[in-house]
Amino acid sequence: MLEYQARKDLLKNKTILVTGAGDGIGRVAALTFAQHGATVILLGKTVKKLESVYDEIVAQNGPTPAIVPLDLKGATEQNYIDMAETIAEQFGALDGLLHNASLLGALGPFEHIDVKSLEDILKINVTAQAVMTKALLPIMRKADNASIIFTSSGVGRKGRAYWGPYAFSKFATEGMMQVLADECDQTSVRVNSINPGATRTEMRAKAYPAEDPTTLKTPEQIMASYLYLMGEDSLEVNGQALNAQ
């Protein structure tokens, strides 16, 4: 995967939903998927940011994207069912799902965990992904083949002091990926997780305020891994916890 070079038309005729598509890694993933031919469904909280990504894709002559304004904190199962129906009507099937949106929350000692914040983090980082996936699976099974990518973190693979609910939400993400991947084994749907590693975004700056962001890789620099998992070169890859290269 280190040397992976995606073909320009790798994702042609594919419809891919990206959560948290307005900023950071999700924004760049949406742009990159569109540059490789995909029709991207941009899901996120801040409509202005989604519109700006939409405009960028159109300006680059990419396939016309779609916008789904949705705050994962308040979203209900019905919201996801309605979304799946709309996608089915407009596109017939869904080929890719990148679960990227997440909430970091406050870092600090265990005794300082704020219960409301804990519940919000688990809702956005875990429950929303499970319920959304449940609603979208039937239209992903309609695709010739489909890829679901969960976004993990180093602290979702080995616990680290003071990382609190964010860390255990990422362990849950890995668990969800493994359970679903095992269920999807030998089917047309593959399910994997990716740990982006330290990447220059708002979230990273919030977690490490004293760090010089220019020392970090940019989201653009990790896109080969995302393209690999989303495109058909990874058809045989299922249930893997990968690190972005």
Q: Provide the annotated active-site residues.
A: 166
CA dihedral over 2, 3, 8, 9, signed as positive or negative = negative
CA angle at 172 for the pair 169 and 177, rounded to the nearest 5°: 130
Report whether 136 contacts 17 (CB < 8 A): yes
Measured between alpha carbons, how far is 218 from 199 in angstroms, rounded to an integer?
A: 6
Report whether 16 contacts 98 (CB < 8 A): yes
Number of residues that bind ligand NDP (CB under 6 A): 28
- Of 226, 229, 225, the C-alpha closest to 245 is 225
Q: How far is the CB of 127 from ligand NDP (least distance, A)?
A: 11
Q: Which is closer to ligand NDP, CB of 14 or CB of 49?
A: 49
- Of 171, 213, 181, 216, the C-alpha closest to 196 is 216
Contact segment (CB under 6 A) with ligand NDP among 4-12, 76-84, 94-102, 230-238 equals 94-102
Q: How far is the CB of 128 from ligand NDP (least distance, A)?
A: 7
- Contacting residue, 7, 9, 13, 46, with ligand NDP by CB under 6 A: 46
Q: Which is closer to ligand NDP, CB of 196 or CB of 231?
A: 196
Q: Which is closer to ligand NDP, CB of 75 or CB of 143?
A: 75
Phi-psi region of 240 (alpha: psi -120 to 50; beta: other; left: phi over 0): beta
Which residue in the shown chain puts its C-beta closest to ligand NDP? 24
Q: What residues between 141 and 180 interact with ligand NDP by CB under 6 A?
A: 151, 153
Other Cβ atoms less than 10 A from the Cβ of 52: the count is 14
Q: How far is the CB of 88 from ligand NDP (least distance, A)?
A: 22
The first and second tokens of residue 134, run together, are 């449940």
Q: Is 89 exposed, middle or buried (0-12, 13-18, 19+ CB in 10 A)?
A: exposed
Q: Which is closer to ligand NDP, CB of 23 or CB of 95?
A: 23
Q: What residues between 58 and 77 interact with ligand NDP by CB under 6 A?
A: 71-73
Q: What residues between 14 and 33 interact with ligand NDP by CB under 6 A?
A: 20, 22-26
- Contacting residue, 55, 144, 202, 211, with ligand NDP by CB under 6 A: 202
The answer to whether 44 contacts ligand NDP (rule: CB under 6 A) is: yes
Enumerate residues 6+ apart whose C-beta is below 8 A from 165.
105, 113, 117, 118, 121, 122
The first and second tokens of residue 22, run together, are 């307005």
Q: Which is closer to ligand NDP, CB of 145 or CB of 243?
A: 243
Q: What residues between 97 and 136 interact with ligand NDP by CB under 6 A?
A: 100-103, 124
The first and second tokens of residue 118, run together, are 């804990």
Binding residues for ligand NDP (CB under 6 A): 20, 22-26, 44-46, 49, 71-73, 100-103, 124, 151, 153, 195-196, 198-199, 201-204
